[in-house]
Amino acid sequence: MKFLLDQGLPRSTVDYLRDSGVESEHVGALGLATASDDEILSVGRDRGAVVVTLDSDFHAILALSNASTPSVIRIRIEGLKGEAVANIIVAVVAGAAADLTAGATVTVTERRIAVRRLPLIDKAND
């Protein structure tokens, strides 16, 4: 499983993930520092990567578009350094790898990790 880290996350997270054997890239290193959320989701989808962000817009875009990929991890904890972000990603993978592989949104707070499978809109209940 590989990860695409959004602009608000420390670039050093990529190094910590690499040290843990986890493949990842930062949007800034790909020349996407000013890319729109839609563009970042598209790049994540094209690369088969889980997008990791601090931004709630990614979940909203996935819901509105009824998309089933890419998976997105939203971290709702402020002020984290690269190593702490990497530890959170590793913990999410340990508990939700199957969901992330199938397509999911994950929200991480200090108290819990919430997982919802994609697409977020259930057509059977529309």
What are the tens digits of pLDDT across the range 61-109?
999 999 999 999 999 999 999 999 999 999 999 999 999 999 999 999 9
Inter-residue contact 19 to 26 (CB < 8 Å)? no
Rounded Cα distance between 109 and 78, Å, is: 10
**pLDDT band of 122, cuts 50, 70, 90:** low
Whether 43 shows a pLDDT value over 60: the answer reads yes
Phi, psi at residue 52, to the nearest 5°?
-115, 130
> Who has greater pLDDT, 89 or 125?
89
pLDDT band at 14 (very low <50, low <70, confident <90, very high): very high
Mean pLDDT of 28-43: 96
Q: Report the DSSP beta bridge partners of residue 49.
A: 2
pLDDT greater than 50 at residue 42: yes
Tokens of 33: 């520092």
Q: What is the pLDDT of residue 121?
A: 74
pLDDT of 125 above 60: no
Task: Return left, alpha or beta for 118; rule: phi > 0 is left, psi -120 to 50 is alpha, else beta.
Answer: beta
DSSP-assigned letter for residue 74: E
| pLDDT value of position 124 | 46
Q: Exposed, middle or buried, 80 (CB in 10 Å: 0-12/13-18/19+)? A: middle
At 11, list the tokens: 């670039």
Name the residue with tokens 């890419």.
70
| Fold classification of 2-125 (topology level) | Rossmann fold (3.40.50)
